[in-house]
Structure 1
Amino acid sequence: MASPKALLLVADGSEEIEFVTPYDVLTRAGFTVHSVGVDLKNETHAHMSHNIRIIPDFASLLALPWQSAHEAYDILILPGGAPGAKTFCGNKHVLKMIQNFRREGKWVGAICAATTALVESRKDFGGEEAKVKVTSHPSVKEKVQEDGKWQYSEERVVVDGKVVTSRGPGTALLFALTIVEVLAGKEKREEVAGPMIVAETL
């Protein structure tokens, strides 16, 4: 069985922990992981929310066949960080990718403020859809709730259908391990968590 494939987005102002932790944990789990920059001011790196520079695997969405990314990857992951999340919300390619992944029954993960991109993508998603249970950073709770299309939770990680959401930097490890579990099984999650000395309660 082929290993799962994950695509992580990154923008200027994305939260470092929420980007690096899923990238690291999924790699440990044997996933094929790629990252791609979204509207980066510098062609070589993303300037993250706390001054760390990240060099993505692909500098721009235009370096990918983004229209068919849902065919090549099993999950699309969006880190938070308010400026980065704002960039995701304003990029029509990102919103279309989210729609494509969801329409085709692929997974989408969003943490912290990036849940707002899920909300934005649904505005012209088309058709009626049952409320999806999600969480986010408390600072964007009202924005997530404003259109009444989402069931809000304050759990640290929420899985509903094929959407995984989480709250912030302090929940990034739990978010990443949950993604491992939903895509590769509980045994793989435990295999990864053990050598990392993960606490029973995160």
Structure 2
Amino acid sequence: MPKALILVADGSEEIEFVTPYDILTRAGFEIQSAGVNLKNENYAHMTRNIRIVPDHPTLSSVSNPESYDTLILPGGAPGAKTFSNSNDVLQLIASFRAQGKYVAAICAGTTALVAAQKLAASSKTESGASQKVKITSHPSVKDEIKEAGWEYSEERVVVDRRVVTSRGPGTAMLFALTIVEVLVGKEKRDEISGPLIVADNL
């Protein structure tokens, strides 16, 4: 099964972190979480005051992050800002995209994807990391993304060239199931959707 790395920062959105972690675990993925610039390295203080203990307190404490098959970025405006301002995070996003690996971002987390593309585009070497694709996000950051020149969609989940994006807490389940489907197939998605009693109009 694939390996997934999900990032978390102070101010990340709880639902958008926990739902992918839960769904990918049910699908048999090997999933790990890493904190980014946490004020208290023992936990992330999330947007609704829930505290999440990451598997790794820092990104630098993850052994060989390049070995993961997909990178996941939850939203939450403060957390997304932390991701966007972290050179380590932006370089990791760019590396995953350059290698043709999946990068998945939800809500305001999409802004880190945009920031990573700017960083990659400013380098002398053109690669997949510098390509703009069709994406979506929370409406609060829509204008920022469009002004950066990305094709924007109002769809609940968008998949384009190994980039998966979604809109917000209410689309987190669909976002997570889509990650499962693109990485291991619809059969696995359907297998775990049944026991979860997932609505057809999710």
- TM over 0.5, shorter chain: yes
- Matching residue within 46, 50, 55 for 1:57: 55
Contact 2:90–2:119 (Cα < 8 Å) also in 1: no
Question: What SS does the corresponding residue of 2:89 show, helix, strand or coil?
Answer: helix
Residue 174 (structure 2) pairs with residue 146 (structure 1): no
* SS of equivalent to 1:119: helix
Q: Tell me the SS of whatever aligns to 1:39.
A: coil
**2:31 maps to which of 29, 33, 37:** 33
Q: Distance in 2 between matches of 1:98 and 1:169?
A: 22
For 1:10 and 1:102, the matched residues in 2 are separated by 19
- TM superposition shift of 1:43: 1.4
Q: Could you tell me which of 85, 94, 98 is aligned with 1:90? A: 85
Which AA in structure 1 matches 2:162? K
Q: C-alpha distance in 2, partners of 1:43/1:123?
A: 29
Q: Percent identity?
A: 66
Q: Which residue of 42, 46, 54 maps to 2:40?
A: 42
Name the amino acid aligned to 1:13: G
Does residue 180 (structure 1) correspond to residue 175 (structure 2)? The answer is no
Can you list the C-alpha shifts for 1:13-69, whole angstroms capped at 9, x where unaligned? 00000000000000000000000000000010000000000000000012124xx52
Q: Find the partner of 2:65 among 48, 62, 69.
A: 69
How far off is 1:140 after superposition? Answer: 0.2
CA separation in 1, counterparts of 2:72 and 2:87? 16
State the SS of the aligned residue for 2:39. Answer: coil
Q: 1:130: Cα distance to partner?
A: 4.9
In the alignment, does 2:156 pair up with 1:156? yes
Contact kept? 2:11, 2:77, Cα under 8 Å: yes
Structure 1: which amino acid aligns with 2:167? R
Q: Indicate if the aligned counterparts of 2:117 and 2:132 stay in contact, CA closer than 8 A.
A: no
Secondary structure of 2:100's counterpart equals coil
Query: What residue number does 1:166 align with?
Result: 166
SS in 1 for 2:120: coil
Contact 2:117-2:131 within 8 A present in 1 as well: no
Alpha-carbon displacement from aligned partner over 1:59-96 (angstroms, at most 9, x marks no partner): 0012124xx522x1000000000000000000000000
Number of equivalent positions = 196
TM-score, L = length of structure 1: 0.95
Structure 1: stretches of 5+ with no match in the other structure: none
Gaps of 5+ in 2: none
Distance in 2 (alpha carbons) for counterparts of 1:85 and 1:25:
21
